[in-house]
């Protein structure tokens, strides 16, 4: 399985990238929602550690995966690849000499020297390419493709207090939802609605606006202001019109509408085993977490042992996840979300009775 290498070195080393609301595996695209504690057997993992667990269980070590990419990816000969693998396994020089059938210990020392030399060359090339990109990607006062002159970003007047007077940069992204929508809408209007941007081009535009331009870019993607392809190499503005027209569209209004649409919905759901009809009924404060629930079951980490056993035995295709009730907050004014979910879950448990032969839930102890 190939790993995308279009990320910083520190991201590739981990094998996953961090987004605003989740961690995403670079190998298979599996997502782990942030802020969730994931049970694995008798151990509870934080979100990032659970992603590491997924990579270890589903793909093995990042080191071995990168090494398996072959000479085109690593630039290493077959002998150097084998040597690195054995060193990674903790083999001694004598064990390596025996396994690779190398005549003398000096040959192994020469191989180690060559690898250290390659490491220094790789670092030098990385720095050279970074400097080259910086040189090529400097925004100058030159006409753009449409003949207009590039201008510096002007923040909305109502957000001016969040920008530094010294360098004009945004000081923090800790804004309330409405302010953040206004900011991202203003940046959207600053971009060309017809242009397809590379990641580097987006970074060069965002870096003068906010020092942590990668976080700003992630926010724009997560909130639907920018769309990107699966490889993360192409970015374009979200437009209503699929043909790309829409420079004049009111992005601020669009962002307000999106924010209203994206308010988390929550309520009661069930998991049904279609082979035996057994049910598991539960609640969630955000229905988007159901993706994480399915991922947890696929990786053997659900806390309900009976449900997990059947899921592992029968496979996910023999289970259906269904929303039973979406909470309408208008009917529950003055009641907090936790109390609402507890009350409605008790109601559904009383109706469905998913206990014993009928289900996976356990009766509450009185």
Q: Which pair of tokens denotes residue 60?
A: 């093995």
**Every domain range in the chain assigned CATH 1.10.10:** 157-261
DSSP helix/strand/coil, 358:
helix
| β-pair partners for 326 | 267
- Report the alpha-carbon distance of residue 55 to residue 28 in Å, rounded: 9
**Every domain range in the chain assigned CATH 3.40.1440.10:** 267-358
Reduced 3-state DSSP string for 45-112:
ECHHHHHHHHHHHHHCCHHHHHHCCCHHHHCCCHHHHHHHHHHHCCCCHHHHHHHCCCCCHHHHHHHH
- Report the alpha-carbon distance of residue 165 to residue 170 in Å, rounded: 10
Dihedral angle sign, alpha carbons of residues 232, 234, 237, 240: negative
DSSP helix/strand/coil, 270:
strand
Closest CA to 347 of 324, 320, 319: 324
Architecture of domain 267-358: 3-Layer(aba) Sandwich (3.40)
Encode the chain (366 residues) as per-residue pLDDT tens digits. 566 676 777 888 888 888 878 888 888 888 898 888 888 887 888 888 999 999 888 888 888 888 887 888 888 888 888 888 888 888 888 888 888 888 788 888 888 888 888 888 888 888 887 777 666 654 444 444 444 445 678 887 778 888 988 888 999 988 877 788 888 888 888 888 778 898 888 988 999 999 999 989 988 887 778 888 877 788 988 765 444 444 444 554 565 555 444 556 789 999 999 999 999 999 988 786 777 788 778 878 788 999 999 999 999 899 999 999 998 877 777 778 888 999 999 999 999 999 999 999 998 765
pLDDT tens digits, one per residue of 307-330:
999 999 999 899 999 999 998 877
- Report the alpha-carbon distance of residue 25 to residue 14 in Å, rounded: 9
Architecture of domain 157-261: Orthogonal Bundle (1.10)
């Amino acid at each position: 399985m190939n790993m995308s290498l279009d990320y910083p070195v520190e991201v590739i080393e981990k094998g996953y990238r961090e987004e605003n609301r989740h961690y995403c595996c670079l190998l298979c695209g599996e997502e782990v929602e942030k802020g969730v504690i994931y049970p694995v057997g008798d151990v509870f993992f934080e979100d990032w550690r659970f992603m590491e667990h997924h990579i270890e269980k589903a793909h093995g070590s990042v080191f071995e995966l990168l090494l398996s990419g072959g000479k085109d990816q690593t630039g290493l000969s077959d002998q150097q690849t084998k040597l690195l693998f054995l060193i990674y396994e903790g083999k001694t020089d004598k064990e390596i000499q025996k396994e690779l059938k190398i005549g003398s210990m000096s040959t192994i020392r020469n191989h180690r020297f060559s690898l250290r030399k390659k490491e220094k060359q790789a670092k030098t090339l990385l720095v050279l390419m970074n400097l080259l990109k910086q040189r090529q990607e400097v925004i100058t006062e030159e006409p753009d493709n449409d003949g207009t002159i590039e201008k510096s970003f002007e923040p909305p007047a109502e957000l001016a207090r969040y920008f530094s007077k010294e360098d004009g940069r945004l000081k923090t992204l800790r804004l309330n939802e409405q302010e953040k929508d206004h900011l991202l809408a203003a940046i959207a209007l600053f971009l060309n609605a017809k242009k397809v941007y590379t990641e580097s081009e987006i970074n060069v535009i965002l870096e003068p606006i906010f020092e942590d331009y990668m976080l700003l870019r992630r926010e724009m993607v997560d909130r639907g202001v920018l769309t990107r392809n699966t490889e993360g190499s192409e970015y374009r503005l979200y437009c209503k019109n699929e043909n790309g027209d829409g420079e004049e569209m009111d992005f601020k209004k669009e962002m307000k509408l999106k924010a209203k649409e994206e308010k988390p919905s929550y309520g009661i759901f069930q998991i049904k085993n279609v082979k035996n009809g057994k049910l598991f009924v539960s609640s969630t404060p955000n229905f988007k977490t159901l993706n994480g629930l399915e991922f947890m079951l696929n990786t053997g980490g659900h806390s309900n042992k009976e449900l997990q056993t059947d899921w592992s035995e029968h496979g996910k295709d023999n289970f259906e996840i269904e929303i039973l009730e979406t909470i309408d907050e208008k009917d529950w004014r003055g009641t907090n979300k936790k109390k609402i979910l507890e009350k409605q879950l008790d109601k559904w448990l009383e109706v469905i009775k998913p206990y014993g032969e009928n289900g996976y839930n356990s009766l509450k102890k009185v």
